[in-house]
Each structure stands twice: as C-alpha cells, then as structure tokens.
Structure 1
Amino acid sequence: MSLLSNIVGFSLFGLAARFGQLGIQKRNLFDNPGAHLIAMGVFGYGGYWAYQWDQRAAVLIAEKRAEIQERRKQQVTAAEEAGAAALAHAH
C-alpha cells in the first residue's frame, strides 16, 4: 500500500470517527470544521507513522531472513565436512 493511500485512509477514518462522535452527542456535524481538520490530521499522521513502521519492519524481516539463510548454509557446510572427515577415518 502506498504512503498516500495510507495517509488518506487513516484521515478518512479520523473524519468518520469525528462524525461518529458528534452523532453520539447529537450535535450538528458541520458546526466546527476546524475540529474535523484536526481529527483528520492526527489520524493522517498515525497513517504516516504506520506506513513508516511497516517499511522498517519489512527491512528488518529481510535482514533476519538473510542472516538465517547464511547460518543454515554454514551448518550444512559444517555437517558435510564432518561427514567427509568421518568417511576418511573409516577407511
């Protein structure tokens, strides 16, 4: 998901939350548009942060997978060497 769609999605959710809040209070939905913008900005920033966190997590997972793969290669190499050494002693 792109950064822009993440921010817009979270902002619209913030607007919906604000409308829900005003609906529960039975107040006019278009009484204070500045508060709508604040709610959208706060939730939009949350969307930006969530996107950045997701990108960083993907990098960390990729690094960890590469590290695990390298460790497995080293274990296979060590096992093959141990097996070759055991065969050499058997003869």
Structure 2
Amino acid sequence: MTLLSSILGFSAFGFGARCFQLGLQKRPIFDAPSGHLISTAAFGVLGYGAFYADKKQTALLAEKKKVLLERREKENLEWQATKGQGHAV
C-alpha cells in the first residue's frame, strides 16, 4: 500500500465517520464544513502513521525471519554432524 493511498483511504473513512455522526444526530450533514476538515485531517494523520508503522513492522519481521532461518540452518548442520558421528561409532 502506498503512502498516498493510506492517507486518502483513512481521510475518506474520517469524512464518512463524520457524516455518519451527523446523520445519527439528525443534523444537516454539510452545515459545518470545518468539522469535516478536522475529521478528515485527523484521520489522514492516522493513515500517515499507520503507513510508517506497517513499514517498520515489515522490516522488523524480515530481520527476525532472517535470524531464525540462519539459526535453523546452523542447527540443521549441527544435527547432521551429530547424526554422522553416531553412525561412525
């Protein structure tokens, strides 16, 4: 997911949430546009943060996977060496 689509998606959700809120209160939906702007901007900032949180978590998971694969390979080599010594005796 790109940065722009994250920001726009969260902003659209914020706009929709604001419209739903006003609809529940039976108030005119487009009466006060400043509330829509604030809601859209706040959710856009959340989208920005979510994008970079996802990017950071993906990098951390890739690093962890690399470490685990290296450890597994090392353990497999040790097991093969131990298995070979058991048959030689």
TM-score (norm: length of structure 2): 0.92
Residue 77 of structure 2 corresponds to 77
Partners of 2:83 and 2:9 in 1: CA distance: 57
Aligned length: 89
Deviation, structure 1 residue 31: 1.4
For residue 28 of structure 1, give the secondary structure of its aligned residue in structure 2.
coil
2:24 counterpart residue number: 24
- Runs (4 or more) in structure 1 with deviation over 6 Å come to none
The AA in structure 2 aligned to 1:45 is V
* Structure 1 residues not aligned, in runs of 5+: none
Distance 2:9 2:76 in 1: 47
Amino acid at match of 1:61: L
Where structure 2 has 5 or more consecutive residues not aligned to the other structure, the ranges are none
TM-score of the superposed pair, with normalisation by structure 1: 0.90
Residues 1-91 of structure 1: matches in 2 within 5 Å? 1-88=1-88, 90=89
Identical pairs, percent = 43
